[in-house]
Chain A
Amino acid sequence: MKYDIVLAGVGGQGILTIAYLLDNLAVRKGLRIKQSEVHGMAQRGGAVYSHMRISDDVIISDLIPDGAADMILSVEPLEVQRYLHLLGPRGVVVSSNQPFINITDYPPEEQVLEALLRLSNALLINAKKIAAASKSPRSQNVAMVGAATPFLPFEAADFVPIIEELFASKGEAVVNSNIQVLENASSIGSFYKELLDGGVANDLAYTLVERIQVGSFAPELADDYAKALAAKPTECKKAISSLDEDVPQERALLDMLKSA
């Protein structure tokens, strides 16, 4: 088993915390890791990345070779583009949909998100909403780890002791809200993944996931959703777009899509 991840974002967005969670979990699971990171000048609001290699065997290079990464996990949607050359043929992109605009030539926001949806393998995650749902706005990076979990050789529950350790000094409330963020994001990630695996087009899957209330995701129903969406994609997209607020993922929503 080997799993190579490129972590991407902007300095100050908490990439090293993501790396910490993954590193420590991998080691706890008896796996080998190599994880390279950027310190110093680049950390000041610049593009920041980390190469994270997990394996049950010896890892040779600290850097991931071109075309070999299994995942780009990004806390910023534009930053994904910087590392696509590293992604392997079966690789996946899990990115936050929250732009971080600290440059004057940042492209229009919709263009950045659309560009990602044009990649057949990209999941766009509303990390801000997931973190806010647990009243933990600074936990967007933890939300991204959760959303990525369904693709990783780990379970969401595996992260609990690592989160407890990492946030111990900040008190029980912070620990608990981070655990909740990670678990919520993980069910979103796995629902999203099932939709894509079920043949749903990327932008349609994104449109649906965006409209579902955080905390109400039931990945086990994903299969039914995938069938409904695949049957009538245009009608479903229209129906979802007509919703004026987020709705829980329950029977009513599925029925609405089926009858669209």
Chain B
Amino acid sequence: MDKRELLLGDEAVALAALHAGISGAYAYPGTPSTELFEFIERKQEEYGVHALWSANEKVAYEEALGMSYAGKRVIVSMKHVGLNVAADPFMNSGVTGVNGGMVVCVADDPGMHSSQNEQDSRFFAKFCLIPCLEPATQQEAYDMTHRAFELSERFGLPIMLRLVTRLAHSRSDVATLTGRSQNPINKVPRGGQFTLLPSNARVQYERLTRVQTELQAESEKSPCNELVLGSGKSSLGVITSGIAHNYFMEAVGGEPPMPYLQVGQYPIPAAKVRDLVDSVDEILVIEEGYPLIEEALGGLVGVSGKKVRGKLDGSLPRTGELDPAIVAKVMGRQTEQVWKRTIEPLPGRPPALCPGCPHTDTFKALNEAVAGYEQPTITSDIGCYTLGFYPPLNAIETCVDMGASISMASGAAHAGLWPVLCALGDSTFAHSGMTGLLGAAREDVDMTVMILDNGTVAMTGTQKTLATGEELERIVTGLGVDPGHLRVITPLSRHHDENVAIIKEEIEHRGLSVIIARRACIQIKKR
């Protein structure tokens, strides 16, 4: 142990990756994963690694796979829904396998603090047939990252590291190790491994299924999976995983009086689970996210003669994130509330666009422009501007996934709705909007696309965007949009009337228009 550093869970993974000798890091910003890449970005010169934000998670994943192909170690990070975007290369990288150690760190957001769902990435690891490591503490996040690189090179597979918001965004002191040097270039020899023609893919898939027995054996003996049976007889046994383990330990004051199994490495260590089940009558599963372990345990028909409790039987809430109070309650150790509110009901304080935000001016103009139409449709997307949903703006009606605003607007227009407008940011456009616009331009869909160009990825903390300013205009016309119907407005209250008129004109143009509303994010201007 070299020294102790104060690190977020995200940063603990990042520092471990640097110490493990990565040559590159790839990512697209997304809460709660953003700080992982940002940490590496700040240290890229010191460690001599490649670190530039990618256009989206799929691109990031493929870039990482290319670096691994060359024999180098690499980390790719994203939020849980980012893995949906990267799902294609991710699933296939299980089949190709990897060369240099490759770790995919996915930060899930149970409770949806800043996300549109709370999908559990452990299912993706299982789906891809690769191991997943799930730390409970910042120290484990650091240590497991080292372990993940070692496993990756030993088994020739990408390894998933699963974080959740409360670990990703919680800081603690971490003991760190001395760094290891980077791998030399050592390219995969020519052959079929990475050329997934059916004939090669069958061979590779066969290999992937064969290695499962070894991965299972590795889980059984992994120090990340700790079974404590104790001596006394107990009717209840507990299975925990990830950060849920902390809430369990907190509830029992650090000394569980019953047998328990802490799962930190998947596939689930079946033999250890069996040992626990054999020694108790009732099993309580406490895991953050979906009931993955609980489902594996009970399956369709349950465990004969045993009671399995958790999220499926209602002992724990099925939705939202766990916390110490919820876990204390299920353990029968809840505390009485001491202090009561002296203001009831307490008004909520939802997030809002910053004072002076350009999006507010854009939405005000947009609202006025569509006010005279009977049934305007305004699709939108993922970014600060999604907050335009809330009163008083009430400006948008959809937010599904990155880039969906344009494609959904196309579909709505195909169906016969009019007028159809959509609003998305410059970075979301670069991430996944361009392909939708390419299609819309080919058939000149009757809709108006508004790109809110604030020059940054604002919601996640003003990271660099790949397409802004004139570059963005060139991309739009390059995709086939008629330059006569590409308009640029400045969203400021003093241009309001002019902006309303331009939006109206483009609505009345019965074909595809793009309006770029360009003004820098107020968070950047402030600096």
A residues bordering B, Cβ < 8 Å? 10-12, 19, 23-24, 27, 32-47, 51, 58-68, 78-79, 81-82, 84-85, 87-89, 91, 102-103, 105-107, 111-112, 115-116, 118-119, 121
Separation of A119 and B341 alpha carbons in the complex (Å): 9
B338 and A89 within 8 A (CB): yes
Taking A33-B173, A39-B35, A42-B113 as given, write out 5 further A-B residue pairs in contact, using a Cβ cutoff of 8 Å, ordered by the A residue number: A40-B34, A41-B113, A66-B325, A105-B347, A119-B342
Q: Cβ of B113: which chain A residues have Cβ within 8 Å of it?
A: 38, 40-42
Nearest B residue to A37, CB-CB: B169
Q: Cβ of B354: which chain A residues have Cβ within 8 Å of it?
A: 12, 44-45
Can you name 28 A-B residue pairings with CB atoms under 8 Å? Answer: A34-B171, A35-B171, A36-B169, A36-B170, A39-B32, A41-B387, A44-B352, A44-B353, A44-B354, A46-B350, A46-B352, A60-B246, A60-B254, A61-B246, A61-B249, A62-B246, A63-B247, A63-B324, A65-B251, A66-B334, A66-B335, A66-B337, A78-B349, A81-B341, A81-B343, A82-B346, A84-B339, A87-B339
B166 and A36 within 8 A (CB): yes
User: With A61-B247, A103-B347 given, is the CB distance from A33 to B6 under 8 Å?
Assistant: yes
* Binary flags per residue of B322-349, CB closer than 8 Å to A gives 1, else 0: 0111001000001111111111001111
B347 and A106 within 8 A (CB): yes
Separation of A38 and B165 alpha carbons in the complex (Å): 9
Q: Which of B87-142 contact A (CB under 8 A)?
A: 113-114
B384 and A40 within 8 A (CB): no
Separation of A115 and B347 alpha carbons in the complex (Å): 14
B460: interface (CB < 8 Å): yes
B34 and A39 within 8 A (CB): yes
**Total contacts A-B at CB 8 Å:** 154
* Min CB gap A203→B, angstroms: 13
Q: Cβ of B166: which chain A residues have Cβ within 8 Å of it?
A: 36, 62-63
* Min CB gap B69→A, angstroms: 33
The size of the chain B interface, using a CB distance under 8 A, is 50
* Min CB gap B116→A, angstroms: 11
Separation of A46 and B350 alpha carbons in the complex (Å): 5
Q: Cβ of B347: which chain A residues have Cβ within 8 Å of it?
A: 78, 103, 105-107
Q: Which of B164-183 contact A (CB under 8 A)?
A: 166-167, 169-173
B376: interface (CB < 8 Å): no
* Min CB gap A234→B, angstroms: 23
Nearest A residue to B245, CB-CB: A60
B192: interface (CB < 8 Å): no
User: With A88-B338, A105-B347 given, is the CB distance from A39 to B352 under 8 Å?
Assistant: no
Q: Which residue of B170, B172, B243, B342 is within 8 Å of A116 (Cβ)?
A: B342
Nearest A residue to B34, CB-CB: A39
B461: interface (CB < 8 Å): yes
A39 and B339 within 8 A (CB): no
**Which of B166, B351, B353, B460 has the most A CB atoms < 10 Å from its CB?**
B351
Q: Which residue of A36, A40, A61 is within 8 Å of B250 (Cβ)?
A: A61
* Min CB gap A143→B, angstroms: 21
B323 and A46 within 8 A (CB): no
B170 and A87 within 8 A (CB): no
**Which of B169, B342, B387 has the most A CB atoms < 10 Å from its CB?**
B342
B6 and A24 within 8 A (CB): yes
B328 and A27 within 8 A (CB): no
B residues bordering A, Cβ < 8 Å? 4, 6, 31-32, 34-35, 113-114, 166-167, 169-173, 243, 246-247, 249-251, 254, 323-325, 328, 334-343, 346-354, 384, 387, 459-461
* Min CB gap A138→B, angstroms: 12
B346 and A81 within 8 A (CB): yes
B172 and A33 within 8 A (CB): yes
Q: Cβ of B171: which chain A residues have Cβ within 8 Å of it?
A: 19, 23, 33-37
Q: Cβ of B350: which chain A residues have Cβ within 8 Å of it?
A: 46
Q: Cβ of A119: which chain B residues have Cβ within 8 Å of it?
A: 339, 342
A62 and B339 within 8 A (CB): no
* Min CB gap A6→B, angstroms: 12
Separation of A84 and B340 alpha carbons in the complex (Å): 6
Nearest A residue to B334, CB-CB: A66
* Min CB gap A76→B, angstroms: 9
Nearest A residue to B326, CB-CB: A66
Q: Cβ of B169: which chain A residues have Cβ within 8 Å of it?
A: 36-39
Q: Cβ of A65: which chain B residues have Cβ within 8 Å of it?
A: 250-251, 324-325, 328, 335
Nearest B residue to A116, CB-CB: B342
Q: Cβ of A85: which chain B residues have Cβ within 8 Å of it?
A: 325, 337, 339
Separation of A11 and B349 alpha carbons in the complex (Å): 10
Separation of A45 and B523 alpha carbons in the complex (Å): 12
Q: Cβ of A67: which chain B residues have Cβ within 8 Å of it?
A: 335-338
User: With A27-B6, A67-B337, A91-B339 given, is the CB distance from A39 to B324 under 8 Å?
Assistant: no
Separation of A12 and B349 alpha carbons in the complex (Å): 13
Separation of A182 and B323 alpha carbons in the complex (Å): 33
B250 and A41 within 8 A (CB): no
Separation of A43 and B462 alpha carbons in the complex (Å): 13
**Which of B4, B171, B173, B353 has the most A CB atoms < 10 Å from its CB?**
B171
Separation of A44 and B356 alpha carbons in the complex (Å): 12
* Min CB gap B301→A, angstroms: 35
Q: Which residue of B31, B247, B346 is within 8 Å of A40 (Cβ)?
A: B31
Nearest B residue to A117, CB-CB: B342
User: With A39-B114, A78-B343 given, is the CB distance from A47 to B170 under 8 Å?
Assistant: no
Separation of A75 and B354 alpha carbons in the complex (Å): 18
B459 and A40 within 8 A (CB): yes
Separation of A34 and B12 alpha carbons in the complex (Å): 13
Separation of A11 and B351 alpha carbons in the complex (Å): 8
* Min CB gap B9→A, angstroms: 9
User: With A59-B172, A107-B343 given, is the CB distance from A41 to B349 under 8 Å?
Assistant: no
A61 and B324 within 8 A (CB): yes
A35 and B351 within 8 A (CB): no
Q: Cβ of B324: which chain A residues have Cβ within 8 Å of it?
A: 61, 63-66
Q: Cβ of A121: which chain B residues have Cβ within 8 Å of it?
A: 339
Nearest B residue to A102, CB-CB: B352
Nearest 3 A-B pairs (CB), nearest first? A40-B31, A40-B114, A46-B351
User: With A23-B6, A61-B250, A64-B324 given, is the CB distance from A79 to B336 under 8 Å?
Assistant: no
**Which of B170, B339, B353, B354 has the most A CB atoms < 10 Å from its CB?**
B339
